[in-house]
Amino acid sequence: MATAKKSVKKATVKRAPAKSTAKTSVTHTVRKRDAPVQSFRIARPADPFLTLRVTRQTIYWAALAIIVLALGLWVVDINDRVQRIYDEVDSLNQDSISIMSPTAQ
């Protein structure tokens, strides 16, 4: 038997024209420094360590502390309520057990 080769026509795929890429320019800025950085030297603090000053950060920390304490008290209150409910259920169960069981004579 002879094998016959069939010619296969390939389908041509039309592609969209290529889009041009946008060119962006990068500008580098030179930073001006107030004082040159000197390594291996002790930096003197601008303010003494134990100065008491109310800043915006102090207000943020105080608000956060108040929120945390309020949520903690709320959780303790919920826990107390749940424990009271458990105690009430236990006392009712204890009462029902003592009523149903006859005393031995």
What pLDDT score does 10 carry? 64
What pLDDT score does 48 carry? 82
Q: 59 in helix, strand or coil?
A: helix
Q: 12 in helix, strand or coil?
A: coil
pLDDT tens profile 71-95: 999 999 999 999 999 999 999 998 8
Give the Cα separation of 98 and 90 in Å (integer). 12
pLDDT tens profile 34-76: 777 767 778 788 888 788 889 999 999 999 999 999 999 999 9
Give the Cα separation of 83 and 77 in Å (integer). 10
| Whole-structure pTM value | 0.46
